[in-house]
Structure 1
Amino acid sequence: MKAESIVSKTEVRRAKLHVMIDQLTQLCKDASHPDDLRELLDDVMAFHDKTLEMQLQLEAALTGEERDQEAKHWVALSERTQIARREARARIRQMEGSLSDCSASSNDLGHHSNSKTSVKERLPELKMPVFSGE
């Protein structure tokens, strides 16, 4: 009975992980900001780790062919997770690069819309008058 309960819970978690990976893959195509993608990626990886814990419990409760079959399912899902993770990280880097390109081109236009760029500008150096002391 306990093994059946673990099997059921693990299957549900694996199905949810598949859905989360699908969402991550879709967000890689649709995301407008890297933080959105990074947040979902963190959630997927945390859920993957918790599912791994349950998977290990399941494999410990099973024997022989059943355990081998469950291990094969996990390996395939884990590989899919890693592929999605690499794609998401590449997309985040790409998005961050294009964001910095946009800010660099706006600086080239001479616009000083944020306070950080105007702080970087130096004021002319003031010289105090010098008296001879007489």
Structure 2
Amino acid sequence: MHVSFELAQQIIDKAVEKSIAIGVKSCIAVLDSGGNLKSFTRMDDAWVGSIDIAIKKAKTACYFAMPSGEIGKLSQPGSPLYSIEQSNDGLITFPGGLPIVDAEGILIGAIGVSGDTVENDHIVAQAGVNVAGVCDVPKHPWRT
């Protein structure tokens, strides 16, 4: 199952609302469970460079069914996933990408946010994911 167009738009809308509330300009990407772009927005005055970063944060969260920032912790020098960001045509391994799972714990997509600090990107992404009603990482991430 994939995130629907309607849900993707609701996620984007809530993330934009949160961006405005905390005073940041964000690029926001929602992907389906296959890592394909489902919906995207670039707020006025958001950095152009953040377009690619938002999509890659979402891709990272989707491909590994975990927050992009968690992959970042595992990809430091000497860690088990060191240099993983070089795979899959480039990943982003800092916060701002979150998996989206359904009520059964099945991965249905991911969100990626870029445009401000990684802390604010994560806050905006979390606001978007909260629309789906399920925020936990799936127990069986391979179930898509």
State whether TM-score is above 0.5: no
Q: Higher helix share goes to which structure? A: 1
TM-score by length of 2: 0.25
Question: Considering only CA atoms, is the larger Rg found in Structure 1 or Structure 2?
Answer: 1
Which structure features the higher share of strand residues? Answer: 2
- TM-score, normalised by the number of residues in structure 1: 0.26
